[in-house]
Structure 1
Amino acid sequence: MARLILQTAEGQQAIELRPVNSLGRHPNNSIQLLDKIVSKEHCIIEQRGDHFVLRDLGSLNGTFINSERVRGEAPLRHGDEIALGSTRGRFDDPGAVAVPPQIPGWPPMANPQAAQQAPQVHGYPPPQASYPRSQHPGPPPGTPAPPYAAPPQQQPVVPPPPPLVAGPGGTAPLPGRPGAHGGSYVAQGTRIDVNDQARQIGTQIAAVDKGFLAFDRIANDMNQLRADYERLRLSHELSREIAAERDTTKLLEKILTSVFKFIRADRGVIFLRNDSGELTPQAMQRRDGTTAPISVSSTILNHVVQERAAVLTHDAAMDFAASKGKSMILNRISSAIVAPLVAPLQHNNEVLGVLWLDSETLAQFQPKDLELVTAIAYQAAMFIEINILGKKIENEIVTREQLRRLLSPNIAERVLSGQLEVKQGGQLVEECTVFNSDIRGFTRMSEDKKPEELVDMLNKYFERMVDTIFQFEGTLDKFMGDGIMALWGAPVAHRDDAVRSVECALKMGEVLGEFNRERLMIGELPLAVGVGIHTGPLVAGYIGSSKALSYTVIGDVANTSARLCSIALAGQIVISEATYAQLGGKFETEELQPARVKGKEKPLRVFNVLRSRPAAQVPANAPFHAEPTNARPE
């Protein structure tokens, strides 16, 4: 059985020949040669009767038999050495009948004299055989050849096959199958790596740090020591150049600049995932310094992300032919290294982005480049993640401050943590205490003040009152002119919300007293405030347009609280019976005359809060009376 014995990085590999065998780089060939200077469809070895013929398909770099370039086609003899690009092989068919001499002048030869000479096989004598003179030397290409047979009394003299030269790795021939002359048997349709120098297609390694072995384990391994030193050196240089950069855009540009120092790439792109998970280009660089757009292959990008592994390809169009990667051909992507930027554990080991490097040169990158790029990608991912997280923290700080200007701290924190979603709509709150306060005599006061002075006075007043509300973990609902509306129980509820609201109102009285003393010292009149508080069910949520939402409450409880505020005298804290029932006797109160308020058919039972009751007297429920001020709300 005729075989083709190829020298590869793994040793000699023997391929059993079929009647028709196509050789080339394209995966559709029956024998795919992973050789960077072999054509896609390089040559065909086909059987003609009892012998084989090699036909070159117009390959760019040619096909050689025993160092002679094949023009058209040439017969193969046992022991012939075949060279395609950097691939070396030997035709092995010890049982074949010798092929007669060729017709003079056909097929045409590059050297006419060489056609008349017996070929030399790397120092071995040419095969000797006697041929029957009556037979024609052979047909031209494309015509069936009659079978050749030596006369019974004459057998061809077959020399031993010349040995193949070992590849750079010095790999010895592997044991073959019985009857073979050495080498491992390989079935048809298998891709062949020609030698250590040849390219590897689709080589993949996991994008993780390989780590370093203890010195005593590799002290005698100079290659490993050299590789570890190189990794440490590159890691140090990369860290030194990018560690201090806090701007993500500049960081990505510096990463590409550093990579170009170590890897001979023509183009580089860094992709990062956006909020929707899509890869978007964030930085690009060309070795020639131009700013022309860079096209990349979505086929390879998707492969890297799905497999979560770095990829090295020497012929992208061939490697991903099954995916119909037309972009790789149109954009002249010959060699590419694509390494996923995998974030550390803090990022749930998700793919953060992709580092893309490519070249128009076939087989530009080697496996060692892939290892370097993978290590660089892993390290770069950590710096990128640090920058992204740092930027996220900065944005959260700014957002938190902005939200705190618009929302109460407890709402702002719940929004930032995702516990509260800012969207239109409301929900029923079974029990919420609503607080309303208003400055008495404000309209008359505003008539005598300049607008600037009035706004300045309100800002100082609101600053103190809002701080007090937040001190008792209330939610600021809104400002209404000189009025304040606050909530206890929405969106954050406590078991003692009614108590907190009343304590806040009493504290506001103390703070207002301090503020009034400051005003008196500069010749300003003191302010007087009335408060109304009511407790009950309501609807709370974000109300407004999609572009301007405000957290507030609606319902009878909110309206009743505002009505109680309107009947409160200056210095009074008027609470409803529902709120009073929640206080548990913790405050000294006086019951006022039933109040008639708008929207209510019957008068409401209301109370005025005087002061906090000492802890020892909390169980007692006897009200204490005090004379309220005579100021009435406007």
Structure 2
Amino acid sequence: MPSLYVIQGNGQGSHFDLTELVSSSDDRVIGIGREKGNDITVEDHEASRRHAEIRKHNDTYSLTDLDSSNGTFLNNCRIAEAELKSGDRIQIGRTLFLYSHGEGGHLPPANVEIVGTESGDDGSRIIAAVPDKLGPNLPPLPQDDTQNHWLVQAQNNLDVMYRTALAVSHTLDIDDLLDRILQLVFDWVEADRGCIMLREEETGQLITKARRDREAGTKSSMTISRTILDYVLERHEGVLTSNAQGDDRFRSGQSVLRTGVHEAICVPMQGRYGQIGVLYVDTLTPLGEVMASGGQRFTDEHLKLMVAIGHQAALAVEDTTYYSAMVQSERLAAVGQTIATLSHHIKNILQGIHGGSYLVEMGLDKNDLGVTDKGWGIVRRNQQKISSLVMDMLSFSKDRKPEPSPSDIPALLAEIIETVKQRAEDAAISVHCKTPDNFPVLLCDTEALSRAILNVVTNAIDAVEELSDGTVNITTEIDEKREVVHVRVTD
């Protein structure tokens, strides 16, 4: 199923079914932009009102920019029109979409069958087993293979990648994650200094998030060559230099000379959706001293493995960032839901106070103490509801336990009708209630039930408020076999 997913920006986590959007469009075109009339509305101030459109051509989809102010980008390249492929990233303003065509060898789960030994079809034998936790190191090679240098090096590399995978899977804190990555690199590479820099989402500037020095007591500032960083970011490739000050690639960079770096490795942290930063290590030891002690500290093997580590770290940072954004989104949604619920309760209480106040005023005007007492009773009950609501807000962190007590349902419904009576009369809406005779006393949470029914009745009044002959009916039914009472509100 062709779909667009919002993976960055407002509405992160949203999903759009392109097949459904195309079928609802007369010209098979899906509009994208800031304007509300678009099929996909982008809440982004950097997006144009009508920014881009997606067209269907047989089984494929194409993306077209509509002369937008800030352009439409496909996989980090600005485009005028391009055919979409599964996995493409579409950037509009600061909003990033992921296109998925929904193709592939997907088969229903029912096609997988587990056979048992009793059927006679299972002829498999277990010939080896490895525990799911191998510890800090992989199993050693057989003795006759340890002479093979390439095989030993391959196992060392695999060991580093295994420990990297464990490190990135054990934490959801980015700072702790990056510090673990640097520790692994220093355990494997003889670097003097190292750091991880991440791109700031708003400005695109590199910000140092983690740093490590071989000498623990070192507190001096770390200077990194802008020339090397720019080379890695622009070319999207890792670099190794064993003589940075004499390297032809950086000959024009004065920053290399100022830093005094002799050996350095800098690799991009390439994630799913772009570069998120760089991983950098270097040494200040002069090349002559290094060669005299037995050769280069950094090799091509170090570079290749650091590229893999950088990619693994980038994926982990993206996952952690996405998880944090998802948690934040859920918290905001919970806050919004709470505000909506409280607003509904407060509106009901104010409505009751308004109705009671009206009766009090009418009783005072007519010098009718009976009407005044009736109105004041409604006001007093709603004051008690305010007190209960405040107590619920104070104990919001804990679930409110139901407090069952003997409840007279017909009396409860009569109280609700009295609460909404004035508003219903003002809107020329008739409210009727019908309950069976000899209605039994029930054991329930009267306050919670009153809130729930009052909310539904208020919604019903809102729904018919603009009609000339609006009616709201409240009926009750008793199911004795199931010991259930139904309260129905219709409009």
TM-score (norm 2): 0.44
Task: Give the structure with the higher percent strand.
Answer: 1
**Greater helix fraction, Structure 1 or Structure 2:** 2
Higher relative contact order, structure no. (Cα contacts within 8 Å, ≥ 6 residues apart): 1
- TM-score, L = length of structure 1: 0.35
Q: Bigger radius of gyration, 1 or 2? A: 1
